[in-house]
Amino acid sequence: MKREIPANLKAILGEIATPAFIADVVALKRNLAVIDRVRKEAGCKILLATKSFALPAVFPIMREYLDGTTASGIYEARLGHDEFGKEVHAYSPAFTEGEVRELLKVADNIYFNSVDQVRRFLPMVKAAGSDKKVGVRINPGYSKANIGGDLYNPCAPRSRFGVIKEQLDQLPWDEIDILHAHVLCESLHDGSIGLIKTIDEQFGKYVKRVNEVNFGGGHCINNPEYDVDALIAAIKDFRVKYPNVDVVLEPGAGIVYDTGYLVSTVLDVLHNSREIAVLDTSAACHMPDVIIAHWVPPIIGAEAVDEEELEKEGKSIPPNTYILGGKTCMTGDVIGSFAFQEPLKPGDKIVFADMMQYNFVQSHFFNGTPHPDLAVLHEDGRYEIVRKFGYEDFRSRLGR
């Protein structure tokens, strides 16, 4: 059965100026309730990874359910400190001395990526006070990436992420507070549990020397196929074995899975061997994982069509199938083929689902393409545009 547009969105769809990224508060709170259950029943901390979702307009809602934020750089750390207001954890494959000094003003915990980075910057962090914690990211040789293959596998051969097992004894473990292992991407419970078991069975002697283990992000907890009870059980077992060690998870996509939309309008319909619809949005600018990882975004009221596979099998392409293309000059700015319930025409609205994770934080202005509005759909049906973008936003990135 094809998914229907939610009633709260359908009621205002005709009024929405497109393109627009829309966070749905009803859906967000539904997901946060699951996250809160994991926190309470498993006895762990859960942080928001701002690299995958950062919309300060809904931070006051999220703050009630989460322990803080995790950052991949100084600007995200400042955002977490200024806008979220709880714990801030920060990691980067490499820091400069200036970045560490800036991070010490806003971050509570700083994770380093190599033996050399720990040696260089640990004294600086320790000198900043007992409330600052030092973490080290390890490469445990275990990964579970359910999208993008090695593109999103931090443990792929020749990866730059984390200290490998052979180098761990070179670290000053008596001065390290947190062991960090981020190896998952869009993973279900089997990946989460596999990581927990790997750290327990292969790195237990290091776990016993820290105060906290951070199992990173990539836990897609709100995916309907994710066994939340299994995750809770695995964390509880780990905490029984290591009673003096706190457990942290830092999902981003797993928190905001299917909590928002990108609403677009059909600008033109043309024919070139296939029916093609040109939209006022862009895969290249607004949904980069479509290009980078061959992600197929869900569209409410339509189904993705693998035309090549159908041709191989000698099957017909479904009626009302359109290739959706973006409005940039990039030939490969193609979102994919989708079968709709009715023929498309200029002016039709298309609602892409599951659009809160990564898309708008990675979006850009290539070709001077207008950026979608950032909006919130509130529980009472109120539609609030929290940011519109114009020429000055495009111009300012190109220098003054």
What string of pLDDT tens digits covers the 400 residues of the chain? 568 899 999 999 999 999 999 999 999 999 999 999 999 999 999 999 999 999 999 999 999 999 999 999 999 999 999 999 999 999 999 999 999 999 999 999 999 999 999 999 999 999 999 999 999 999 999 988 766 667 788 888 999 999 999 999 999 999 999 999 999 999 999 999 999 999 999 999 999 999 999 999 999 999 999 999 999 999 999 999 999 999 999 999 999 999 999 999 999 999 999 999 999 999 999 999 999 989 999 999 999 999 999 989 999 999 999 999 999 999 999 999 999 999 999 999 999 999 999 999 999 999 999 999 999 999 999 999 999 999 999 999 999 7
Task: State the pLDDT at residue 148.
Answer: 62
- State pTM to two decimals: 0.95
Say how far apart CA 338 and CA 333 lie, in whole Å: 15
Q: Which domains does the chain have, with CATH numbers?
A: 10-23+258-396 (2.40.37.10), 25-256 (3.20.20.10)
Q: Please name which of 143, 351, 393, 176 lies closest in space to residue 265, comparing C-alpha atoms.
A: 351
Which residues on neighbouring strands pair with residue 113, listed in sequence order?
none
Say how far apart CA 206 and CA 173 lie, in whole Å: 8
21 φ, ψ to 5°?
Answer: -85, 130
Amino acid code (one letter) for 215? F
Q: Is 179 helix (H, G, I), strand (E, B) or coil?
A: strand
141 φ/ψ sector (left φ>0, alpha ψ -120 to 50, else beta): left
Say how far apart CA 14 and CA 16 lie, in whole Å: 6
Say how far apart CA 371 and CA 136 lie, in whole Å: 37
